[in-house]
Amino acid sequence: MPGTVGAAMRHACTGGKRLRAFLVLEGARLHGIATGTALWPAAAIEAMHAYSLVHDDLPAMDDDDLRRGQPTVHIAWDEATAILAGDALQALAYELAARPEAGSEATRAALALSLAQAAGARGMVLGQALDIAAETAETPLTLDEITTLQQGKTGALFEWSAMAGPRMADADPAPMREYARAFGLAFQIADDILDIEGDEKATGKRVGKDGAAGKATFVSLLGLETARARAAELANAACAALDGYGPDADNLRAAARFAISRRT
Amino acid sequence: MPGTVGAAMRHACTGGKRLRAFLVLEGARLHGIATGTALWPAAAIEAMHAYSLVHDDLPAMDDDDLRRGQPTVHIAWDEATAILAGDALQALAYELAARPEAGSEATRAALALSLAQAAGARGMVLGQALDIAAETAETPLTLDEITTLQQGKTGALFEWSAMAGPRMADADPAPMREYARAFGLAFQIADDILDIEGDEKATGKRVGKDGAAGKATFVSLLGLETARARAAELANAACAALDGYGPDADNLRAAARFAISRRT
């Protein structure tokens, strides 16, 4: 089992779009941080995201058997391995963000602190808790409640990723935060659309689960066309937040547009 | 449920001996660190320990219903709440260690990094994984294997706690590490003895489980009397490691002696 936990951690980190790492790397490049330095927080956020998926897929949580086109960790191994692999991936995230290679002591203290706040009970875990609670709630969530849920579940790590570059450069993180906030919501609306229109082979995960569970989504609340329009507006707002960076930020703009056109 | 996760986190942090916090505070005092500063890493390590208990008690892990005289989190609430409360407590541990109140940027980066290494796949999670694997192993563990298991499961956080003070003062952590290593093993041997001789009311947890599960323990391998003698030797070694500190370290020496005489 000990070697097993390492294997399960690697399994959980395989595949995926690496979108959060991309946000770290592009945000760092925009602020003059070397890629070799930025790779450490980029790896950190992918470890954090992987942990959240492993625990979210557990039977007591979302109970999913397919993720990134592979069996989930508790299916490929067992629940104890999935709990421990997730726990160790969370620890690994802080280790990667705090290692000397990630920058000055001030940078690493700031990265570790902000990462803990993004991942914890007021960030990602809050989003997960709202999501689980929604499954058994008597009334479906409102648009405001779903927005809060998603800002925790997806938004907190998106914002941390986008803000890592300015944090490492001691620059104003506000434009990147605004970009990430709009991008994260656009991404999540697109996710809800994919849950209706996507196919499992392309997305690598089960689709149609939210609708089948009667969960309120952006699509169920707004309707498909309005949801699509809202996602496009948000993608535009994300791009506009980057105006100050000029054409250097074109990769980030392309990512925001990709978020709403993706099939996976 | 979101408010529930906060309540479950508080429940998990209630009670206990606060031994790891004590090690941080005493080690800090010995190195001239103000208590108000040391309280942050002391709180951090208690959050980390509480998370490990919540996850260790889950049905897929040790499946315990009683902890610190209270129902475990998944009994008082449910498994999803226990998974999320544990996850959020782990994040809280890094947040507390990396907050500005915990010291200089250099100190906080070092505390966060070493905490992640102590908690992760080469530290506490390794110990947990070895422990779970031992339950289904065909042959009982050897003394060396149990020692490795305990150095991960208990030792890693003990060592981090004892070394926090010298780390904060930029002093040599070797004597405190040696103290913690001997203390941790003595503590664990005493735990195995309590699992045979203790009572549930005093310990606040189920006793006799390891023996009933046929798990190898220090007691099953060494016999009760040899185990008791080994614990006493280790407590003496722990005290001796503190020689350089003189009578200032008497509280830490008393703790090592308490470890082998405790009834809880």
**pLDDT (tens digit, 0 to 9) for every residue of chain B, 264 residues total?**
568 999 999 999 999 999 999 999 999 999 999 999 999 999 999 999 999 999 999 999 999 999 999 999 999 999 999 999 999 999 999 999 999 999 999 999 999 999 999 999 999 999 999 999 988 888 889 999 999 999 999 999 999 999 999 999 999 999 999 999 999 999 999 988 988 886 666 667 776 666 666 678 899 999 999 999 999 999 999 999 999 999 999 999 999 999 888 776
- What does the pLDDT average to over A81-101? 98
Tally C-beta pairs within 8 A across A and B: 163
pLDDT value, residue B135:
83
Q: How far is CA B89 from the centre of its chain?
A: 15
Place of tokens 């970009």: A179
Q: How many CB atoms lie within 10 A of CB B264?
A: 14
**Which residue in chain B is spatially nearest to A52 when comparing CA positions?**
B87
Domain boundaries, chain A: 2-261
Percentage of chain A beyond pLDDT 70 is 93
A60 contacts B84? CB cut-off 8 A: no
Q: Give the phi and the psi of residue A71 in degrees, each rounded to 5.
A: -60, 145
Among the partner-chain residues A84, A90, A109, the one whose CB lies closest to the CB of B129 is: A84
Cβ contact B24:B161 at 8 Å: yes
Among the partner-chain residues B83, B93, B109, the one whose CB lies closest to the CB of A58 is: B83
pLDDT value, residue B158:
97
- What residues does A224 pair with on adjacent strands? none
Listed residue (A30, A66, A90) closest to A246, CA to CA? A30
CA distance A42 to A51: 15
Average pLDDT over all residues of chain A? 93
For B149-191, give the DSSP string.
HHIIIIIHHHHHHHHHHHHHHT---HHHHHHHHHHHHHHHHHH
Listed residue (B202, B192, B252, B262) closest to B227, CA to CA? B192
pLDDT value, residue A174:
97
Taking phi over 0 as left and psi of -120 to 50 as alpha, with beta for the rest, B198 belongs to beta
List the Cα angle B147/B151/B157 in 5-degree steps.
160
- What residues does B70 pair with on adjacent strands? B67
Q: Is the pLDDT of residue A25 over 80?
A: yes
Cβ contact B228:B193 at 8 Å: yes
**Which residue in chain A is spatially nearest to B122 when comparing CA positions?**
A88
For A141-199, give the DSSP string.
PPHHHHHHHHIIIIIHHHHHHHHHHHHHHT---HHHHHHHHHHHHHHHHHHHHHHHH--
pLDDT value, residue B138:
84
Listed residue (B223, B248, B217, B247) closest to B140, CA to CA? B217
Q: How far is CA B26 from CA B20, B29, B33, B115, in A?
A: 10, 5, 10, 18
**Which residue in chain A is spatially nearest to B4 when comparing CA positions?**
A129
Q: Give the phi and the psi of residue A57 in degrees, each rounded to 5.
A: -80, -10
Q: Best residue in B72, B87, B111, B124 to probe A by mutation, most A CBs within 10 Å?
A: B87
CA distance A262 to A201: 14
* Best CATH choice for the domain B2-261 from the list 3.40.30.10, 3.40.50.1970, 3.40.50.300, 1.10.600.10: 1.10.600.10
A117 contacts B112? CB cut-off 8 A: no
- Complex ipTM value: 0.94
- A79–chain B nearest CA distance, Å: 6
CA distance B229 to B234: 9
B129 contacts A5? CB cut-off 8 A: yes
Range of lowest pLDDT (A105-114, A157-166, A248-257, B210-219): B210-219
Among the partner-chain residues A55, A81, A95, the one whose CB lies closest to the CB of B120 is: A95
pLDDT value, residue A211:
61
What is the total residue count of chain B?
A: 264
